[in-house]
Amino acid sequence: MKKIIAMLLMLTMVLGLAACGTQEEEAAAESADAAAEETADATETEEFDFTGLTVGVQLGTTGDIYVSDLETEGVCSVERYNKGTDAVQALITGKIDCVVIDEQPANAFVEKNEGLSIYPQEFALEEYAICVSKDNSELTEAINGALEELKADGTVDQIIANYIGDDTKGTCPYESPEDVDRSNGTLIMATNAAFEPYEFYDGTDIVGIDAELAQAICDKLGYELQIEDMEFDSIITAVQTGKADFGMAGMTVTEDRLKNIDFTDTYTTAKQVIIVAE
């Protein structure tokens, strides 16, 4: 009888320990879930509030277009600058509260200016293309053909990788083939060379993603390339009036722009971000 009672007590203890183990595992799992939820809540970024702020943009850019809608609604006021660098300088000196601009130039500005950061929220996604006069559909088609080939053979990816990314940045610049026939003449590209890494000055030379891609396109089509630097807001007018053959300056395809100019196929995607003072 004593043996039976002892066995029953031992069985009860084993079952109790098993139950405790199960309860502890369940408690640990619940704790882990709660911690994960807290982490998710902590890392979730609140939508940027433009209410009552003065926002800096580069005149005529898509950042200008997007923020203008908020200005019209009375949410914020907007200060427009001819160059992105001027808008960033105004932020540094406290004249404005934030800057809306393309991501890659924003990265360059933040890297060079201590005390600035990019708010962790995408403001808008966009696609870049080359603008050409509506009267020059032949050139648009030719550029599209060249772009298709340059995408297929990896040249577009190579050019972008030479300016963006840690692994290949600066290691794979585009070089024109030695046997290029440039007998078709010269194509003039209108740009705003204050938009690193798409177009910017290296000494007296205009370099960047758009400059190299334009060179690759001209190599394919048999042209010399001439780059003309101007205010961003003047590029479309220059192309419309024939002062330039095409425009490249990290230009986004928009419905308003399509009323006045044609665009080629897109060659890369980008996004607008918000620079703030820390």
**CA–CA separation, 27 vs 38, rounded Å?**
16
Q: What is the pLDDT of residue 44?
A: 52
Provide CATH code, domain 54-126. Answer: 3.40.190.10
Closest CA to 194 of 206, 203, 183: 206
CATH architecture of the domain with range 127-268: 3-Layer(aba) Sandwich (3.40)
- Identify the three-state secondary structure at position 114: coil
Amino acid at 154: G
Structure tokens given for 236 = 């479309």
- C-alpha closest to that of 196 among 180, 187, 209: 209
Q: What is the pTM of this model?
A: 0.72
Q: Which pLDDT score, from 0 to 100, does residue 185 have?
A: 97
So what's the pLDDT on residue 165?
A: 78
End-to-end alpha carbon distance in the chain: 78
DSSP tag of 168:
T
Are 235 and 192 contacting, i.e. CB atoms less than 8 angstroms apart? Answer: yes
Domain extents in the chain: 54-126, 127-268
Query: Using CA atoms, how far apart are residues 195 and 199, in angstroms rounded to an integer?
Result: 5
Neighbours of 222 (CB within 10 A): 14
Which pLDDT score, from 0 to 100, does residue 211 have?
98
Q: What is the pLDDT along the chain (278 residues), one digit of tens a residue?
A: 444 444 444 444 444 444 444 444 454 445 444 444 443 443 455 889 999 999 999 988 888 888 998 999 999 999 999 889 999 999 999 999 999 998 888 999 999 999 999 999 877 888 999 999 999 999 999 999 999 999 999 999 999 999 987 778 888 999 999 999 999 999 999 999 999 999 999 999 999 999 999 999 999 999 999 999 999 999 999 999 999 999 999 999 999 999 999 999 999 988 899 999 98
pLDDT at 249: 96
Alpha helices (H) in the chain, listed in sequence order: 2-43, 62-72, 84-92, 103-112, 137-152, 155-161, 209-221, 235-240, 255-258
